[in-house]
Structures are given as structure tokens and as C-alpha cells.
Amino acid sequence: MPTKLEVCVLAAGLGKRMKSAKPKALHTIAGRPMLAHLLDTIATLEPVAVHVVVGRGAEEVKAAFADSSVNFVHQAEQKGTGHAVMQVVPHLHPDSRLLILLGDAPLISGDTLRAMVDARCDLGVLTVEVPNPFNYGRVIRGEGDTIRAIVEERDATAEERLIREINTGVMIADSGLLPGWLDTLTTENDQKEYLLPDIVLAAQAAGLVVKAILGQDEAEARGVNNLEQLAILEDAYRRRAAREAMAAGLHLVDPARSDIRGRMEIAGDSIADINCVFEGSCRIGRDVSIGPNCVIRDSEIGDGVEIRANSVIDGAIVGPGCIVGPFARLRPGTKLAASVHVGNFVEIKKSEIGENSKANHLAYIGDAVVGADVNVGAGTITCNYDGVAKHITTIEDGVFVGSNTALVAPVTLGEKSTIAAGSTITKNVTAGSLAIARGKQTAVENWKGPRKTDD
């Protein structure tokens, strides 16, 4: 049996029922294209080559995966799944096995694919059992796990229609045998297409071993032909991700109202309230508490962190013991050291905040380096952008910044200095000093301001 593995993904479908100009392979589940999910799973098998068959919208698909090592194969006319595989044959090494996957069935697991690769057969077909097999090809078993036939709904007898094991369309075959089987296909069927499942008959006619590999999860075989089915797969993905997160030690208060849309590393003993969304690659430390309605994306959350309701953490590192929120926003490049407090309506961007520092409400800190034990008062902003370039604000250890202060970068506030409330700081402040930069308060007696007149 050949030991080299190649993979073919059939992704040239028109997707007419999606009612969209976007290629079907680029429609998203958990915020990523369906094809991206498949390619990630395929990568765990370490194949020698991955071929993706594309059709209408091919350039758009290629552009979306320009950084990948995929070999795109163009199917100019869509004449069925068998015809799509025919386009790949010239690219195959004859001494390999070809795993054939469907671009609109992205939830197939790595474990299932490995079971197919390990199956000792000339042709393997992934099957699943479903409660309602209507409109699917039924798998007629021979001895053991061999397949005697795959019968389509329209051709099945009343007894065969009771069978719940169906053909998923996912196959594995020896590349050297595949061209001969494909040569037997015709378009003499209702669809007038070259249908890949028909190679089962050709393999059997040659006396070769055709086996069924039974999948454990019905969702692995589900394809997408319309937006309703896309939503069903989104739900299946969410439920699977929730199960994995809870098994790793993240207590989801209500899994049905949580969304995990990426890769999670979970230390354990943590809890997330309802309506939390996790995207990209996230690390959640131990004993973390996440309030309702939070979004965490591509971030690291340290041990003992409390994230309060309605906070957004995007591309940030949150050190141990921090308190964030409610209604806080940490933007990419933010790094919080241990025990930092970031309160309501505080936004931090591309800044480092030292241990035990606080910005408890209504502040913007951008492009800043903030030391330890700093207090940032309400209404404080770093004026980091001059219309052309970004500039750095440096706030050294122990600084107290009064409320409603504007720090015009580039500027440095020396260690343990104090900034009076309402100041606009445009020059460096020396260590230990009090800086006051605000207009002198004046009063105009007997002021008669604008008054409405009777017309």
C-alpha cells in the first residue's frame, strides 16, 4: 500500500442556492472561510501535496489563500464530482494515496481523517449514520466493513430506504488505480454528470477491496448548499468547541450562548458568563472570571484575572490579577503587568502598563509606556497622533495624573510627579514635581450673554 498521502478538496461548486456572488468555499463558519477550516485539519496529516479544485470565483479563492502551499486546479466546466477529480489526476504521484474531501463539508475531524488514512483498502468511503437519510445514497454492506453497493434515493427499494448509513462523498483511494476507475464513469444519470461514488462499482468489478469507514459525528458529513445549512454547521461548530473548552476546564455558564471561534488554550478553573465570544488564538489562565457579553480575540489572559461585563480584549496580554472593565477596550499591542486596573470606558492601544497601575474610568491611553503604581484620572487622554505620525508618551513609576488631563506626545512624566487636574501637558515633567498647565480662571462681572429677543 502506498505510503505517500495527497489530498484533494473539491471546492468548485457554484453555490447557486447561497444567493451570493461569493464563492461557496469562502463563506464563513466561526468567522473563517470553510476552506480554511479544512486546510487546518488537513495540515495535521502532513500530506506531501494538497490540491484544491476551484471553478467560478477561482481567482478570489486563490487570493484568499495566497500564502498557502496549496496547488489550485481549475475545473472550467462543472460536470460533477468525478469530473473534478479527473482534473487532479495529472498532478498526482502514481505511488500515493489520495484523500478526497468536499469543500462545503468543513467540520470533518482530524481523527476521522486519520482513520481513513489508516484503513487498509484499495478504496475507502466515509459513511455516517443519520436519523433522516432522505435524499442520501444508502450504503449497502457486504461482509464486515466492506461495501457491496451505494444506492441513491431514487434507485433504492423500500427496504433499502430504511438504511440510515449514508455515503458522505469523502473517499480515499490509491492514486495508481484511480484513473482506471474514473475512465468507467459516464453521464448517463439524472444529473448528466460524472459522479464520483460510481467508482465503487468499478473497484468492485476489478475484485478490489472497498471498505466503509464509519464516522462518529453526523456533523462531519454535513455539507452546505444554502444559508440555512451554513447556520446549522455554525451551530454544530459552536457546540463542538464548547464541549472541548469545558473538557479543558472553562466553565461556560450557558454553552448555548457562548461562541468559541478559534483555538483555545485553557489552564482550568475559569468561568465565562453568557454571550462571550472567543476568536483567533486565545490563552485563558487559571481562576479567570469573565463577565457577560465580552469579546476576547487573539489575547492572553493571566491567572486570577477578572474581566467584567461588556469588555473587548483584542490582541492584548493581560497579566495575572488584573481587573478589566466593565465596558473596557484593550486594543492590539496592549500589555498589562500584574494587578493592573482598567475600568469602565477606558481604551488602551499599543501601550504597556506597569504593575498596580490604574485607569479606572473614561480614559484613552495610546502609544504609551506606563510604569508601576501610576494613577490615571478620569478624562485623561494621550494625544499620540499629530496627523502624520504617532508619538510616545512615557509615564514613569508612581505618577499621579489628575482628571481631564491631555498629555501631548512626545512627552515624559518623571517618577512620582503629579499632574494637576485639567492640565494640558506639552513639555516633559521632572521627577517629584507638580505640573499645572491650565488657563487662569477669570470672571466677568455682570455678564450679559446672548439673549433671545421677541420678534
> What positions carry a catalytic annotation?
361
Strand 96-102 relative to strand 165-174: parallel, antiparallel, unpaired? antiparallel
Nearest Cα to Cα of residue 188 among 178, 198, 179, 202: 198
Contact 411, 423 (CB under 8 A): no
Contact 324, 305 (CB under 8 A): yes
Is it true that the peptide bond before 255 is cis, omega within 30 degrees of 0?
no
Burial class (CB in 10 A: 0-12, 13-18, 19+), 445: exposed
**Could you tell me the three cell numbers for 159?**
427496504
Determine the Cα–Cα distance for residues 192 and 79; give it in Å rounded to an integer. Answer: 8
Identify the DSSP state of 331. -
Name residues whose C-beta falls within 8 Å of residue 56's C-beta, 6 or more positions apart in sequence. 12, 14, 23, 78
Name residues whose C-beta falls within 8 Å of residue 253's C-beta, 6 or more positions apart in sequence. 271, 272, 273, 274
Determine the Cα–Cα distance for residues 274 and 401; give it in Å rounded to an integer. Answer: 36
Burial class (CB in 10 A: 0-12, 13-18, 19+), 76: exposed
Q: How many CA atoms lie within 13 A of 359 on its CB side?
A: 31
How far is Cα of residue 167 from the mean position of the Cα atoms in its chain? 28
